């Protein structure tokens, strides 16, 4: 992570916990370039993963303390404070996690402001505050890794309604000739079921996505699916920019310009898109997720100071 400033050693830091499908990252710090410590825990059964995360948080609390805590979790999660399930993970393909109170398990010991959102929403908010979405109120962050998730920011706030955005499970037109059954246990051939890292491995019987050549035919199916996902977002909410991150994109960066080119082709001139840099890689790179969790903590702290909703403006936090 590039150094942008030297942390004030007398200041009290913020903690962010990003829970992903493969790994969880705990970060102690202040923001981009101002990280004190970072620890990674493998995402296994909650009986194994949660105690390891709790131990890290308790150690930091005992040694230096922290002033706020942000939790950015894989979804789906309940974000409605009025419901008994608030803070719980909902129906998920990850064994043992459905119904688990992830927020309560990680935060009940610490009397500090708490921020909570999906991992992809948090990454999108961090990109708006410090990265590729600066100056934008409508922005999307797509992660293509073990699964596919979409952080969707509309009018400066992550979307709410029946749930948060679950566009990774959107049903999309299939590419001509794509006979792959899909792997999603809920929808089979949704975006995640067709184009996630897990789906790509299942298509080819491969273990390492990075070893797949850029000219392999599988990428045509993946690009069509991801461009179709972008088409749906453009028509529904019109994000001003879309950032693509995650393990598959990190290992196959040629996908980003190809997705943009395919999107423009299937939009067929119906809606205006910027000439360039509409679909980009996240400026924060692999740090978008961990910094997103830090963002949630900072936002919650500022909201508590104002006694308002903890969805603080990304622009106000960037400084």
Residue 291 is assigned to a structural domain of this protein: yes
Taking CA atoms, 252 is separated from 52, 148, 174, 260, 281, in Å, by 31, 15, 22, 14, 11
Are residues 267 and 143 both part of a single domain? yes
The pLDDT averaged over each successive group of 10 residues in the chain (319 residues) is: 40 96 95 96 97 98 97 94 94 91 97 96 97 97 94 93 87 92 90 96 91 96 98 96 96 97 95 92 96 97 76 53
Whether 206 is in a domain gets the answer: yes
Residues 230, 179 share a domain: yes
The burial of 221, by beta-carbon neighbours within 10 Å (0-12 exposed, 13-18 middle, 19 or more buried), is given as buried
The domain that holds 51 is classified in CATH as 3.30.420.40
End-to-end CA distance of the chain: 18
Would residue 2 count as lying in a domain? no
Same domain for 259 and 217: yes
Distance CA 70, CA 17 (A): 6
Residues 217, 302 within the same domain: no
**Assigned domain for 319 exists:** no
For residues 87 and 153, state if they share a domain: no
- Asked if 186 and 255 sit in the same domain, the reply is yes
Q: Are residues 105 and 162 in the same domain?
A: no
Same structural domain, 50 and 143: no
Give tens-digit pLDDT for 6-24. 344 458 999 999 999 889 9
Distance, in Å, from the CA atom of 64 to the CA atom of 124, rounded to the nearest integer, reads 29
- Is the domain of 73 the same as that of 149? no
Residue 124 lies in a domain: no
* Residue 284 and residue 291 in contact, taking contact as beta carbons nearer than 8 Å: yes
> What is the pTM for the complete model shown?
0.90
Backbone angles phi, psi at 183, to 5 degrees: -115, -5
State how far the alpha carbon of 315 is from the alpha carbons of 50, 183, 251, 308, in Å. 32, 38, 30, 17
* One domain for residues 181 and 276: yes
One domain, residues 152 and 210:
yes
For residues 204 and 103, the answer to whether their CB atoms sit within 8 Å is no
Domain that holds residue 207: 132-280
Domains in the chain, number:
2
Q: Tens of pLDDT along 115-164?
A: 999 999 999 999 999 999 999 999 999 999 989 999 999 999 998 887 88
Backbone Cα Rg of the chain: 19
275 shares a domain with 152: yes
Tell me, yes or no, whether 127 lies in a domain: no
């Amino acid at each position: 992570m590039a150094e942008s400033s030297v942390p004030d050693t007398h200041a009290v830091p913020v903690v962010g916990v990003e829970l992903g499908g493969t790994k969880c990252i705990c970060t102690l710090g202040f923001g981009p370039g101002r990280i004190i410590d970072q620890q990674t825990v493998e995402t296994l059964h909650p009986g194994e993963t949660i105690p390891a995360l709790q131990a890290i948080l308790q150690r930091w609390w005992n040694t230096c303390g922290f002033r706020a805590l942000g939790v950015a979790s894989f979804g789906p999660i309940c974000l409605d404070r009025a419901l008994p399930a608030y803070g719980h993970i909902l129906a998920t393909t990850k064994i043992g996690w459905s119904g688990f109170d992830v927020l309560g398990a990680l935060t009940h010991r610490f009397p500090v402001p708490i921020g909570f959102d999906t991992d992809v929403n948090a990454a999108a908010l961090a990109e708006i505050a410090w990265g590729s979405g600066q100056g934008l109120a409508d922005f999307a962050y797509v992660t293509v890794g073990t699964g596919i998730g979409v952080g969707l920011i509309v009018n400066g706030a992550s979307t709410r309604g029946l749930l948060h955005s679950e566009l990774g499970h959107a049903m999309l037109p299939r590419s001509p000739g794509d006979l792959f059954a899909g792997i999603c246990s809920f929808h089979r051939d949704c975006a995640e079921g067709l184009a996630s890292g897990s789906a790509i491995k299942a298509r080819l019987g491969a273990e390492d996505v990075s070893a797949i050549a850029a000219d392999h035919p599988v990428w045509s199916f993946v690009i069509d699916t991801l461009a179709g996902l972008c088409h749906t977002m453009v028509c529904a909410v019109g994000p001003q920019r879309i950032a693509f991150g995650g393990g598959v994109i990190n290992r196959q960066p040629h996908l980003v310009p190809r997705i943009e080119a395919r999107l423009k082709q299937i939009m067929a001139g119906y809606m205006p898109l910027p000439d360039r840099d509409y679909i980009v890689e996240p400026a924060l790179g692999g740090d978008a997720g961990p910094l997103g969790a830090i963002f949630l903590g900072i936002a919650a702290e500022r909201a508590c100071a104002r006694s308002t909703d903890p969805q603080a403006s990304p622009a106000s936090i960037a400084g």
